[in-house]
Structure 1
Amino acid sequence: MVIESIDQIRAALGREGRETSDFDLNPDVQLPEGRKLRPAGVLAPIVARDSGFHLLLTKRSSALKHHPGQIAFPGGKQDEGDADVIAAALREAHEEIGLPYDIVDVLGTLPAHETVTGFTVTPVFAFVRDGFEVIPEPGEVDEVFSVPLSHVADPANYLIESRRWRGTRRHYFTVPYGPYYIWGATARMLRAWSDRMTS
């Protein structure tokens, strides 16, 4: 899918949509009533390149206790000092990849996504107006890379795969790109966005 303008992305984010979850492809999972979910925000930073729009993603450090080596958006849980989940996503992107606040235009958000780790994550899409020096946070981010936005906007590039997890078979979305295996919550949130772009 060819993405011609930032306004096209902003319009897609303004359309109605439903919340998603890591359990969307696993309808047999029984989620406990009254469970407490912690709010979090992740940033989907879009940059303009000669070849078109690209999305910045991170490869988490292999030394981390949770999700080592996985592909993720910069972001994290909302802290007491954050005004909202958008502020949390911007703060985390500043800390994790060195993204300055003053060159970011927030385009919109997707409905929240529930993760198996007990978070309700709001994906925040933003356009990065100017170039900046990417500074991966030591110990947390091994690599920052970009994926053509047209790749993750095309539903045809998504696969459904599965593996054993906590004694049962769990299904999940993937959207591989070159050497990068994008899967799980990151792929699910991107798939929700691609559905918006093509609807």
Structure 2
Amino acid sequence: MIQTILTNHIPNSSHDAAVMLPLVREADQSLSLLFEIRALSLRSQPGEVCFPGGRIDSDDANPVSAASRELCEELGLTLNDIHVLSPSALEPIMSPRRGTIHPFLCYIQNPDTIKPNAAEVSSTFRIPLKYLLENPAEEHQTSFEFSFAKSFPFERIANQSAYQNRKQTYTEYVIQYDGHIIWGLTARMIVAFTSMLKAGDFAV
């Protein structure tokens, strides 16, 4: 009975998202990463810098399909305009609010054809990959405190002292370039990507 239930069970991934890190080859053959600035009319994070992406829909075959679809919708491109480098290029990122985020890499074949969807994207800009590799992100320590509802049976759990007034500290990355500020999950993806390149002795 349990095995039948498990066999027929489909994990709920309705909160999961997929993101595309778009690479562009410049006229001098150097590489840049392309970023979006979210439209000010959006309810969520208006005006912030991000990569193309969004929630994985039930119609998406897989996360990389979702990331490709979102990129095309936001930048006015077609699937023929992009070349996905690998379906598993970067490690997924866990987010308490957004579930699992799946980042992928692609080339935009002809960036001159980009026509941002004004409902979602106010503008785009690029940062040379060389700059990101040679200028490490700022690191800032951030913490948040665990808070339990008054109804939580705190007195009945083991090891109470380990959770009383507990704080979680983590590193928040900040990248500045040409007046733009990049932080949060977008900065974490950049740090993961550039760290992978450095570990592989990638030269620009």
TM-score, normalising length: structure 2: 0.72
Task: Confirm or deny that 1:130 pairs with 2:115.
Answer: no
Q: Which amino acid aligns with 2:15?
A: R
Deviation at 1:98, TM superposition (A): 1.2
Q: Aligned to 1:107, which of 79, 85, 94?
A: 85
| 1:40 aligns with one of 4, 7, 17 | 17
Q: Tell me the secondary structure at the aligned position of residue 124 of structure 1.
A: strand
Q: Does residue 117 of the first structure (1) align with residue 97 of the second (2)? A: yes
Assess if the C-alpha contact under 8 Å between 2:14 and 2:56 holds in 1.
no
Once the two structures are superposed, the pairs formed by residues 62-77 of structure 1 within 5 Å of their partners are 62-77=40-55
Report if aligned partners of 2:21, 2:34 keep a CA contact under 8 Å in 1: yes
Shift of 1:96: 0.6
Higher mean C-alpha deviation, range 83-92 or range 63-72: 63-72
Match of 1:142 in 2: 122
Ranked by relative contact order (alpha carbons within 8 Å, sequence separation 6 or more), the top structure is 1
Q: Which amino acid aligns with 1:119?
A: G
Q: Give, in whole Å, the separation in 2 of the partners of 1:176 and 1:121.
A: 23
The structure having more radius of gyration, on CA atoms, is: 2
- Is the contact between residue 93 and residue 99 of structure 1 (CA under 8 Å) also seen in structure 2? yes
What is the DSSP-based 3-state SS (H/G/I as helix, E as strand, rest coil) of the residue aligned with 2:177?
coil
Structure 2 stretches lacking a partner, 5+ long: 1-11, 147-166, 200-204
- Range moving further from structure 2, 134-143 or 78-87: 134-143
Give, as a single letter, the amino acid of the residue that structure 1 aligns with 2:139: I
Alignment of 1:1-199 (within 5 A): 38-51=15-28, 52-108=30-86, 109-154=89-134, 156-161=135-140, 171-199=171-199
Residue 157 of structure 1 aligns with an amino acid whose one-letter code is P
Supply the distance in 1 between the matched residues of 2:20 and 2:13 (Cα, whole angstroms). 23
In 2, the alpha carbon distance for the partners of 1:79 and 1:50 equals 36
Residue 114 of structure 1: how far off its partner (Å): 1.5
Distance 1:139 1:165 in 2: 33
Matched residues in 2 for 1:148 and 1:126: separation? 15
User: In 2, are the aligned partners of 1:37 and 1:120 still within 8 Å (CA)?
Assistant: no
SS of 2:192 mapped into structure 1: helix
In 1: Cα distance, 2:197 partner to 2:42 partner: 33
Q: Describe the SS at the equivalent of 1:88.
A: helix
Q: CA deviation at 1:63?
A: 2.4
Q: CA deviation at 1:131?
A: 3.8
Taking a change above 3 Å as real, the CA distance of residues 158 and 48 of structure 1, as seen in their structure-2 partners, is same
Identity level (%): 27
Residue 59 of structure 1, CA deviation: 0.5
